[in-house]
Each structure stands twice: as C-alpha cells, then as structure tokens.
Structure 1
C-alpha cells in the first residue's frame, strides 16, 4: 500500500511508524483507516498494522497508543515493540512459530492530528477517552470526568447524540473486527499520567461495579507475577483512581460481553510521569514534559522498561487455554479478586 507521509506540521512518531511499515514489507497487513484534518490543509493518516495468523480461531492482542496527543510516549512504546518484532522476523524462528498461533494488531497513533498539535484532544477539542456513549452511574469529578460544556475546556465529550469522532470510530472498528470476534483477546492502550508508579488498569471507568471477567483478570495478573516477580506495575481497576463518562474501553467491553462465548480483556498502561519530573524538575514547566520523558536516555529506558509487558501479553494470549480459569475455579478466583481490589 502507499505510505501517506506527512511533513508539516512534523510528526516524528508518524515518520517512525511509516519506516517500520516499510521495513516489515509483506509480513505486515497494513490498513489506512482514516485521514484526519489538522491545521490548515494538513491531513494525517490513521494506520492499523497486523501480523500473525488471521484465522478467527486464533486469539488476538491489540496494542494502542497516541489516543491523547500530548502523551507521545504511549505511541513510542507501541511503535518500538512493533519495530522489535519486525527486526526479529529476520532471524527468530520461535517468533514465526508464535505468530502461527496468535494475531497481533497495532494502532500506535490513534490521534495523529492531536499529537501534531500537541493537544490531549483531537483538533475538534474532543477528548477521545470521554467520547463513547457510556454515562457514569456514580458521581464523577467535575470536568475531569467528562463534560459537554465546551470544547474550549479540557475533557470535552462532544455534543450529546453525535456520532463518535473519526479517531474513536477507527479504534472501535479495529477492535470489533480484529479482537471481539475471537474467543479470546486482549487490548493494551498505552498512556502516561501524573503519578510515581506505572499502573495497569482494567474496566470499569463508569462504575465501581466489578466486571464480568474479574476472575480472568486476576488469573492474568497472577501469571504475570509468576513470570516477572520483580515488576514495577500496580494492577488495579480504573475505578480505584477515578470515575469518568465516555470511556472507549468500557464501551467496547460492554459490547464484548454480549457474546458470552468469548473473553475480551482490555487493559490500560498508565505510565507514571512524576518519576521523570522528579529527576528533571524543569520538565514541570513544559506541557510535553508533564507527560513524556524529555531526555533521550530516559526515553530509551522507558521504551525498554515496557517491552516485556507487551511481549508477555502476546504469549499469554497464545497460552490462554492453560491459565484461564475452569468453571469450577472461577468462583474462588472471583472472590479473591473482590477481596484484593474491592474490599
């Protein structure tokens, strides 16, 4: 397919992604989902890239980044992992065997025009993670929980009753076509936020009610702890931190639950940016510095830090039949998870 390179305003992450697409060649299934408008006449492509077994009988994992344009490091983590896979395909026979048993899907830059503009929202002022037609059932923080007052204020949801934004539609299309039809799938959405710790969140954001697949989430966390005992993540429901309207992953998870024969586990990686600011306090005076490591060696360290998590999820999907709880085990795992996360 043709590569739609954008040169003004410059977007280094998009150029890096298109370079990886060229390197991957025939190993990659590349789709141009949308071209969205930025400032003036500039337009930006939204890509989805897949590799591995396309059969609907295989499990799948989706990796997403760049939903919030300010959080460039999320896109960089996803692109970095995709690049590592492309380079390994040249020599790693074990990776080729793994890809016979799983489908890996990448959408590294969901909001390219917002990223080019350096804004959390898209150019229409809509926060994509407040854009879904899901209203919180409990009290949410003022403004931060999602508002319909004005696109000039942060966390704008868009007008009530309007279709999803193009970027949100594109993400939902990828999930509903590549992940939800399969019996088992995982999604990881990479963000950065204000905190000292890296967190892995799972739904819900609109309610404190536990999800239907709480036992499976607990089992996934347990096998991760077994594989990486010295990890840096806090694994928890998003509702422990805050509630919000319009969460896209709540919206997609609720769709997935309509098919009781399948399991869909959506995760959000929230990288704690305060650790970067603590080491370089001047970052606090930069809009990008609040959400991204600005010094090159720290950026490289962050990229290395999370590759293991992304690789683990692909392997966990391949072996899901060996660790997802049997019916007789679910009740106890569910009770253990309730005590840990909701007690």
Structure 2
C-alpha cells in the first residue's frame, strides 16, 4: 500500500502512545488510486475552554520540510509527555494538537497544490487588497501556480478539514495560538502574524507585540524575525485570515492568534546552489545534515509557546493601558511608514 513516511511516523506514534493521545482522521485526500488520511493528534486537556496550541504543516506539498518539522515536534512532545512531570502537569491544563500533513498527496506528488491543482493557502473566500499579481492568487487555470479555485466553489476537502478542526479547537478556548509551518521565502526564519490580505494593522496588534516582547526577553538571542506577514507580500484566500476573522466576530472574551513559521529556505539554496534544479530544491534542505539541523531547530520555539499558552498572565491578559502602550510600540516598529 502506498503511503508517506510522515504518515507512517504519525501512525506509529499513535499506536505507541495508546490512550495517552487522542487521534482522528479529519478527511481523506484522494487522487485516482491514491487515498491518504489527514491526521490530527491531540495531547492534554479535554476541557473545550482550556488554552490550546496547534501546529500544522504540509499545506504546500513542495514544502515537505514543514510537515517533517511538525512530525518531529509531535514526537518530541510525545516523549516528554511520557516522563517529564512538568509537561505532564502542564498538559492537564492546556491542549496541544498537531495536523502535520494537511496536503498529503501534494507532498507525495511534490506539488504545491492539492490533487485538484488548488493552492490551499489561496483557497479561502478572502479577498486581498492589491496583492501581488499571480503570487497573490489567480483564477485563470489550475495548471498554473497559486490557483484559488473556481469562483463560488466550496473550499477544497483539505482546506475544509483544516478549518473545521481548528474552529472546533478554538471555539470555546480562553486562549488559542496556532502556528502553520512553511518554507520557501527569505534567508531568515520568520514568525508571521496576520494579516496576509492587507498591510493595515490587524485588530490584535498589541497581543502580537506582547508575544514578541515575551520571546525577545526570554530568548534574547533567538534567530526569528517576528513581523506582519503582509510586509513581505499580500495574498487572496489565506486560510488563517479566514479563521481569524470568523473567530473575531464571535469570540467574546476569547483570544486567538494565528502564526506562521516561514523557514528561510533561500539559505539552504545559497549553501547548495545545485538543488535549485530539483522540484523540491527551493523549499527544502536537501543535504542530510541540514535537514537534521532543521528538524531539531524549532524545539525551543515549541517549548516557549507551550509555556506562553499555559501562562496567559505573562502576555495575553493585557490591561487597557498595556494595550495602548503595545499598540503604539507595535505601530512604531512595524508600521512607521504607513
């Protein structure tokens, strides 16, 4: 039976942990004789109001390293949950979930899009403000990159599965953070926050600045560039813009911050220029030692986010004065020219 190493690793981990982990198949991605499950694996509290942290990857099949990083982080947390008493106590109060292979056939076929030729990160019914031509999403043909899908058509199976799973997790949660793992842009690893659709500041700007400030103070020598995604480029159809806006309308006192980890793949190409001639070359660390380094590179970020979600008083429970102060600082840092 045809499968993916990443899916095999997920299934092995599910079998090994038994009742200490909750797993489900969100949907199946299908193309001709291929049929791959989209797994969600969850650790921790079953209280729907508990703070929640989510990791997703493999939305773009060519960016396979994103799925592999998600699986590696899931495996690390699974091991910690077996013996680390601090993690065990933390997981009594929060929930952590993983959806590592959102677009499994794209990973298998080494395509950016899903089996129907749709770029899942351009597929939501969100219209961007003057996004870059083509790169921001197009409806001309699924034979060309960045295809959004037909006007008025339902979102793709993979996109619907991701959105339904995340909406279920964040609907009642007092504090929710998700991080979607990608590669393919820049020489530096970036942590992006919304919006992708507009260069205007998004409503929870003080919250994003507060988390950045906490990261900077906790790990002053970290290597991430924390910034709004739209400062790099804007797009139509971003799934996380869609999720955030829907949650914003109905959230009440609940807080949700979607993040994107954009790994700087240009550095891998710079160090090994010949890989540019392989389909996956611009997006993945081809050399074995670089792949291994990447797979262990983001453990500190995961541990930081677990602590941050478990400790909202440190950054998320902002007073009105703090919101005003952080909003001013964020605009000076990120939007001084706007």
**TM interval, short-chain normalised:** over 0.9
> Does 2:221 match 1:230?
yes
Residue 77 of structure 1 contacts residue 307 of structure 1 at CA under 8 Å; is this kept in 2? no
> Does 2:273 match 1:287?
no
Q: Report the 3-state secondary structure (helix = DSSP H, G, I; strand = E; otherwise coil) of the residue aligned with 1:277.
A: helix
The answer for the alignment partner of 1:66 in structure 2 is 58
The answer for the alignment partner of 1:317 in structure 2 is 309
Number of matched residues? 334
The answer for the alignment partner of 2:180 in structure 1 is 189
**Displacement over 6 Å in runs of 4+:** none
> Does 2:152 match 1:171?
no
Residue 308 of structure 2 contacts residue 314 of structure 2 at CA under 8 Å; is this kept in 1? no
Query: Residues 93-147 of structure 1, C-alpha deviation per residue, up to 9 Å, x if partnerless?
Result: 11100101110011000001111111000010000000000001x2111111101
Counterpart CA distance in 1 for 2:295 and 2:101 is 16
Counterpart CA distance in 1 for 2:314 and 2:188 is 30
The answer for the alignment partner of 1:56 in structure 2 is 48
Counterpart CA distance in 2 for 1:90 and 1:183 is 26
The answer for the alignment partner of 2:112 in structure 1 is 120
Question: Could you tell me the TM-score, scaled by structure 2's length?
Answer: 0.97
Question: Could you tell me the TM-score, scaled by structure 1's length?
Answer: 0.95
Offset at residue 178 of structure 1 (A): 0.7
Offset at residue 180 of structure 1 (A): 3.1
Counterpart CA distance in 1 for 2:79 and 2:130 is 47
Offset at residue 284 of structure 1 (A): 1.1
1:156 to 139, 142, 147: 147
Residue 49 of structure 2 contacts residue 172 of structure 2 at CA under 8 Å; is this kept in 1? no
Counterpart CA distance in 2 for 1:235 and 1:274 is 18
Residue 51 of structure 2 contacts residue 309 of structure 2 at CA under 8 Å; is this kept in 1? yes
Query: Residues 37-84 of structure 1, C-alpha deviation per residue, up to 9 Å, x if partnerless?
Result: 12x311000111111001123100110000000101111111101101
Query: Which sits farther off after the overlay, 117-126 or 320-329?
Result: 320-329
Offset at residue 25 of structure 1 (A): 1.5
The answer for the alignment partner of 1:340 in structure 2 is 333
Query: Over aligned residue pairs, what C-alpha RMSD do you find?
Result: 1.1
Counterpart CA distance in 1 for 2:320 and 2:15 is 45
> Does 2:276 match 1:303?
no
Runs of 5+ in structure 2 lacking a partner?
none
Counterpart CA distance in 2 for 1:198 and 1:180 is 30
Paired residues for 1:223-302 under 5 Å: 223-258=214-249, 259-302=251-294
Counterpart CA distance in 2 for 1:311 and 1:59 is 15
Q: Report the 3-state secondary structure (helix = DSSP H, G, I; strand = E; otherwise coil) of the residue aligned with 1:80.
A: helix
The answer for the alignment partner of 1:3 in structure 2 is none
Q: Report the 3-state secondary structure (helix = DSSP H, G, I; strand = E; otherwise coil) of the residue aligned with 2:256.
A: strand
Q: Report the 3-state secondary structure (helix = DSSP H, G, I; strand = E; otherwise coil) of the residue aligned with 1:90.
A: helix
The answer for the alignment partner of 2:192 in structure 1 is 201
Offset at residue 166 of structure 1 (A): 0.4
Query: Residues 296-340 of structure 1, C-alpha deviation per residue, up to 9 Å, x if partnerless?
Result: 111110111111112211110000123222222111111110111
Q: Report the 3-state secondary structure (helix = DSSP H, G, I; strand = E; otherwise coil) of the residue aligned with 1:43.
A: strand
The answer for the alignment partner of 2:17 in structure 1 is 24
Q: Report the 3-state secondary structure (helix = DSSP H, G, I; strand = E; otherwise coil) of the residue aligned with 2:18.
A: helix
Counterpart CA distance in 1 for 2:280 and 2:14 is 26
Counterpart CA distance in 1 for 2:112 and 2:326 is 37
> Does 2:314 match 1:329?
no
Counterpart CA distance in 2 for 1:311 and 1:121 is 31
Residue 58 of structure 1 contacts residue 102 of structure 1 at CA under 8 Å; is this kept in 2? yes
Counterpart CA distance in 2 for 1:202 and 1:91 is 33
The answer for the alignment partner of 1:105 in structure 2 is 97
